[in-house]
Structure 1
Amino acid sequence: MVKFNFYGHSCFSLTTENNIILVDPFFTDNPLTKVKPEDIDCQYILVSHAHFDHLGDAPAIAARTGATIIAIPEVLKLCGKTANTYGMNIGGSHSFPFGMVRMTLAIHSCGTAGGIACGFVINFKKGPTIYYSGDTALFSDMQIIGAKEKIDYAILPIGDNFTMGKEDAARSVQLLKAHNVIPVHYNTWPAIRQDPKLFKQIAESLIAVDVHIVEPGKSLELTKW
């Protein structure tokens, strides 16, 4: 069983029987969460890019917990020499105790010189295949990701302005052929104000998919796989 725990914006964790995988750990100054970074425990941290609302508290949480930060090398340089890190790059994959992680393209700026933004496909050993796009625009190669993987859950931004909006996110669901979708990266600030119910309506009208709206502070058991 894998549980999705949402902390608002694009910050979430994936909890399995033996591991907690924290993703884009933006707690400090996140207006959608009351959780403090010192309250978080995890063994792995995935970071999609170096903007403050995604790299967030990764270095501090890793230093306290001993968690391994997984990101591209340019982002890992921002995490300090004492952090446990594992570097990857676009198209590469690696097996971890919880399953296989493949790093995918994202169309977005990275937030650090020489770096590129990314997404992740996570194939859990005992659980679903999850695609987290990171911050991205709609791009046609999402079709390739969907053809290569049977995506049980896609975690996608819908906020517009800095990422794709609800219409493009719905179109990405078609390309990915995802069975379930969880929207993120919306309503944190006025610039990315969106109605997730409208996204759900658009996406579910285009393709046979279940859109799960998870409120910050809530969890969802990912049982459909």
Structure 2
Amino acid sequence: MRTQLMAVVMGALLTLGGTAAAQGAPAAPAQGAPATGKAGAKGPAAAKGKVEVTWWGHAAFIVRTPGGAVIAIDPWLTNPKAPQGVAQPEALDAILVSHGHFDHVGETKALAQKTGAKVFGSFELINLLGLPEAQAVGANAGGTFKVKDATIHLVEAVHSSSYQADPKGASQYAGAPLGFVIAIDNGPTLYHAGDTGAFAGMEIIAAQFKPTVAMLPIGGHFTMGPAEAAQAARLLKVQSIVPMHYGTFPLLQGTPDALRGELKTLRGPAKVLDLEPGKATAL
């Protein structure tokens, strides 16, 4: 899958005049315990009582909580849809990586090195990334971690996962893919689905965690398209959907308007929130 995606990416990037690269390093087993990244304490808190979410295109987000937690999710911050002229975060407490594909690992290693943030993901993927032991939190679905006023739950996803540290080398199995539920103290509960299709277990996620906002892939081909995403929203019983993983490459053809149409067909009450890359949105 990486070979096909890389070919698509290179075409998109040549058109846009930009460049993108995956981050990787030789495997080194590592596992750590959750705690606040050393640079994360410097990050500004979100507006009082609000959670601020900034979409960086594709599946990449930066979340800021009222308690000062700064969390990056699937930080491919150099993707073709990333905002231009916007500085990457200087302070992070946590980096969440849903699976090993290059367009989700992104700049994880560089950001971890710069900020001292903990990196959370599947046990196998975290080992393959070769992170310092103090920053590596390898876990699996069912794991729960506290980062300031955010409680992070690792949940299942339906996808594949492999990691290629060396572009000329073979891909390695990177564990099961994950999604993330982020419950904010006295605030909303966010669900980042990672790369996935709709699956019945979303009903369990709804019953157990009661997410209010779901970040769902809608591009299709490698993930849900708009029709599946609408079904997922119904299973999750969320109030709002933030579309992601669409429009980055020609293969990802789903659109927010198509999602609205599918929700209308299902008479789903969820609202679609189109986020502008690089613009912080209060939830």
Give your verdict on TM over 0.5.
yes
> What's the counterpart of residue 124 of structure 1?
184
Counterpart of 1:221, as a letter, is A
TM-score normalised to structure 2 length: 0.74
Shift of 1:76: 0.8
Shift of 1:205: 4.4
- Percent identical: 37
Matches within 5 A, 1:82-161: 82=132, 84-112=135-163, 113=173, 115-161=175-221
In structure 2, the CA distance between the partners of 1:137 and 1:73, relative to structure 1 (3 Å rule), is same
Shift of 1:99: 2.2
Aligned counterparts of 1:155 and 1:204: Cα–Cα separation in 2: 19
> What's the counterpart of residue 98 of structure 2?
48
**Among residues 209, 214, 217, which one is paired with 2:275 in the alignment?**
214
In structure 2, the CA distance between the partners of 1:51 and 1:101, relative to structure 1 (3 Å rule), is same
Comparing 74-83 and 169-178, the one that deviates more: 74-83
Shift of 1:204: 4.4
Instruction: For structure 1, list consecutive stretches of 5 or more residues without a partner in the other structure.
Output: none
> Structure 1 segments of 4 or more deviating over 3 A?
34-38
1:71-106, Cα deviation, whole Å (9 max, x unpaired) = 111111232242612222112222222221111110
Aligned counterparts of 1:135 and 1:24: Cα–Cα separation in 2: 10
- The answer (yes or no) to whether the contact 1:158–1:184 under 8 Å persists in 2 is yes
- The answer (yes or no) to whether the contact 1:37–1:57 under 8 Å persists in 2 is no
- The answer (yes or no) to whether the contact 1:142–1:176 under 8 Å persists in 2 is yes
Counterpart of 2:54, as a letter, is N
- The answer (yes or no) to whether the contact 2:99–2:178 under 8 Å persists in 1 is yes
Comparing 168-177 and 193-202, the one that deviates more: 193-202
- The answer (yes or no) to whether the contact 2:100–2:174 under 8 Å persists in 1 is no
Aligned counterparts of 2:107 and 2:131: Cα–Cα separation in 1: 16
**Among residues 75, 80, 94, which one is paired with 1:31 in the alignment?**
80
Aligned counterparts of 1:92 and 1:161: Cα–Cα separation in 2: 29
Counterpart of 2:247, as a letter, is N
**Larger strand share, 1 or 2:** 1
**Among residues 228, 231, 235, which one is paired with 1:175 in the alignment?**
235
Counterpart of 1:110, as a letter, is S
- The answer (yes or no) to whether the contact 2:194–2:216 under 8 Å persists in 1 is yes
- The answer (yes or no) to whether the contact 2:127–2:138 under 8 Å persists in 1 is no
Aligned counterparts of 2:208 and 2:265: Cα–Cα separation in 1: 24
Counterpart of 2:189, as a letter, is T
> What's the counterpart of residue 78 of structure 1?
128
Comparing 1-10 and 84-93, the one that deviates more: 84-93
Instruction: For structure 2, list consecutive stretches of 5 or more residues without a partner in the other structure.
Output: 1-49, 164-172
TM-score normalised to structure 1 length: 0.92
> What's the counterpart of residue 58 of structure 2?
9
Counterpart of 1:59, as a letter, is K
> What's the counterpart of residue 22 of structure 1?
72
- The answer (yes or no) to whether the contact 1:4–1:15 under 8 Å persists in 2 is yes
Give me the CA root mean square deviation: 1.8
1:39 alignment partner, SS class: coil
